[in-house]
Amino acid sequence: MIKEEFWNRDLIFFEIPKFQCPICHKGLLITDKENLKRETTKESERYYDVVGEPECYKGQFVSISRCNNPDCQEIITIAGETEVIEHGWDDGRDPDTFEELFPPHPKYKTVYRVKYTNPSISLIKFPNDTPKELVEIIEASFQLFGLTEHLAAIKLEVELKSFLTCKG
């Protein structure tokens, strides 16, 4: 069964997601601010200088996330792209007095599009009786999922054919 949080195939989040640890499968991956590096592309900065809209900003991010399970504490690399999107509206009024403080304007947020994790995160919840070899083959294809689903599917097909040939 595909995990619900991955129904959005673009893997877009408003913060670095707390994926389940791919090592112990018990803890969650936590990213501290000091372990997150974000940069805006020069191209989007130049575009912003011309257009002046925050939605012009695009960039890259990389994080070292750590499993919060005290018995694991493993580190995982998560990398991908960022972009700024419009997310809500500020009416410009003081919430207590409703006095207008400034003109109404849109609010913006940075979103993270996960493209790569190492080791790969699990996109599927496997039944308990799934053979470990099969789980490893399927999970290996997940490393390509954020980059291109097509390559992930090809890798999975090749590996499964090989696995089934050896078993059959």
The predicted-structure confidence for 69-125, as pLDDT tens digits, reads as follows 999 999 999 999 999 988 888 888 888 998 988 888 889 998 988 888 888 887 777
What domain range includes position 60?
4-121
Helices 149-167 and 132-142, interaxial angle, to 10°?
Answer: 160
Q: Do residues 132 and 56 both lie within one domain?
A: no
- The verdict on 102 and 136 lying in the same domain is no
Peptide bond into 127 cis (omega under 30): no
**How many Å from the N-terminal Cα to the C-terminal Cα in the chain?**
25
Question: Does 8 share its domain with 65?
Answer: yes
Q: For residue range 119-166, what is the model confidence (pLDDT) as tens digits?
A: 888 777 778 888 888 777 777 777 666 555 555 666 666 666 766 676
Whether residues 27 and 61 share a domain: the answer is yes
CA distance 113 to 16: 9
Q: Does residue 15 surpass a pLDDT of 70?
A: yes
Cα–Cα distance for residue pair 75/64, rounded to 1 Å = 6
**Are 70 and 94 members of one domain?**
yes
